[in-house]
Chains A and B, each alone.
Chain A
Amino acid sequence: MPTQFEELQARAAKRWDELTAGDSAWIRVGGGTSGQAAGAEEVFEALKTSAESTGVNANVSMVSAMGLMYLEPQVDVLMPNGTRVFYGNVEPEEAQMIVEQHVQNGEPLMDRAFAYSGGYGTGVGNLPELESMPMVALQQRIATRNFGDTDPHDLLQYVANGGYAALNRALTEMTPAEIVDEIKAAGLRGRGGAAFPAGVKWSFLAPSDAPVKYVLCNCEEGDPGAFNDKGIIENDPHTLVEGLIINGYATRSTHGYIFIRTGHEKPIESARKAIAACYEAGLLGKNILGSDFSFEMEVSLTGDSYVAGEETALMEAIEGKRSTPRYKPPFPAAAGLWQKPTNINNVKTISYVPEIVRNGSEWFKGIGTETTSGTAIVCLSGHITYPGMYEVPMGMTIREVLDKVGGGVSEGERIKVLQAGGPLNGLLGEEAFDTMIDFDAMSAAGASIGSGGIIVGNETVNVVDLLRSLVAFNQFESCGKCFPCRLGNTHMLEILDRMCQNKAKPADLALLERVGTSMRAGSLCGHGQLGFNPIASALKYFGDEIKSCLGGEGTPAGVYGDGRMILPTRTRP
Chain B
Amino acid sequence: MSEQTHAESSTDTDVVLEDTSNHDQIAIETSGEVGEVLLELDHVTLRFGGVVALNDVNFQIRRGEILGLIGPNGAGKTTAFNAMTGVYTPTEGAIRFKGKEIAGIKPHTINHLGIARTFQNIRLFPEMSAMENVMVGCDARHKTSVVGVLFRTYRVRPSEEELPESGIRRSLAKVFGISRHTLEERAGRRRSMELLRFVGIADRAHELARNLPYGYQRRLEIARALATEPELICLDEPAAGFNPAEKEDLMGLIRRIRDLGHTVLVIEHDMKLVLGVTDRIVVLEFGQKIAEGSPEEVARNPKVIAAYLGEPDDAA
Q: A and B: real partners? A: no
Give me the interface of B with A, judged by CB distance under 8 Å. none
